[in-house]
C-alpha cells in the first residue's frame, strides 16, 4: 500500500528540477518561511489505506511574486497571471505525461489563491490518485 509519504515523493520527483520556476521544490511545510521565490510545494490531503484501489488527493501549489499594475490611474498589486499560467502548464504537462505502472495521476480542479504574507499568488492544482497496486 502507498502512503502519503509515497505520493508526496512521486509528485516531488516528477516536478523537482524539471520546471522553469526560479525557486525550489518542497514537500509539505518544508518551504522556507516567508519565501518570495517561485516555489513549487506538493502535499497530500488524503489517501485511503488497506483497500484497492487506493483513492486520494494531493496539491501542487505554485507560488509567483505579484506584480504592480496601474489600474484606473492607481498602482496596485495583482497576480502575475502570465507567469502562473506558464508554470501551471509545465506542471500539468509533467503530471499528464507521467507513466507509472499501476498509478493513475489525474489533474483535478485548479484555482488561483492569494498569499498575503509574501505578497504572492499561487496556482493550486488538485491531483486525484487511483492506485491499483500494493
Sheet order of strands, 120-131 included = 25-27, 40-47, 54-65, 120-131, 103-115
pTM: 0.94
Cβ neighbours around 56 below 10 Å, total: 20
Return the CATH architecture of domain 4-131.
2-Layer Sandwich (3.30)
Write down the pLDDT at residue 1: 93
CA distances from 71 to 49, 81, 105, 113 (A): 50, 15, 40, 20
What would the pLDDT profile of 107-122 be if each residue is shown by its tens digit? 999 999 999 889 999 9
Residue written as grid cell 498569499: 115
What would the pLDDT profile of 28-55 be if each residue is shown by its tens digit? 999 999 999 999 999 999 999 999 999 9
* 70: pLDDT strictly greater than 90: no
- Distance (Å, rounded) from C-alpha 25 to C-alpha 40? 5
Write down the pLDDT at residue 40: 98
Write down the pLDDT at residue 132: 93
- Distance (Å, rounded) from C-alpha 110 to C-alpha 100? 23
Write down the pLDDT at residue 32: 95
- Distance (Å, rounded) from C-alpha 63 to C-alpha 73? 27
Domain boundaries, the chain: 4-131
Residue 70, C-alpha cell as written in the block: 496601474
Write out the DSSP string of 41-95. EEEEEEE--SSSSEEEEEEEEEEEE-EEEEETTEEEEE--HHHHHHHHHHHHHHH
Amino acid at each position: 500500500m502507498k502512503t502519503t509519504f509515497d505520493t508526496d515523493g512521486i509528485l516531488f520527483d516528477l516536478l523537482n528540477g524539471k520546471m522553469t520556476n526560479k525557486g525550489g521544490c518542497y514537500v509539505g511545510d518544508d518551504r522556507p518561511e516567508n519565501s518570495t521565490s517561485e516555489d513549487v510545494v506538493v502535499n497530500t490531503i488524503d489517501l485511503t489505506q488497506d483497500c484497492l484501489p487506493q483513492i486520494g488527493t494531493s496539491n501542487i501549489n505554485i507560488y509567483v511574486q505579484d506584480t504592480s499594475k496601474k489600474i484606473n490611474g492607481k498602482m496596485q498589486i495583482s497576480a502575475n497571471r502570465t507567469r502562473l499560467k506558464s508554470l501551471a502548464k509545465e506542471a500539468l504537462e509533467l503530471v499528464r505525461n507521467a507513466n507509472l505502472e499501476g498509478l493513475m495521476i489525474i489533474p483535478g480542479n485548479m484555482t488561483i489563491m492569494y498569499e498575503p504574507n509574501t505578497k504572492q499568488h499561487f496556482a493550486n492544482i488538485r491531483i486525484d490518485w487511483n492506485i491499483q497496486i500494493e
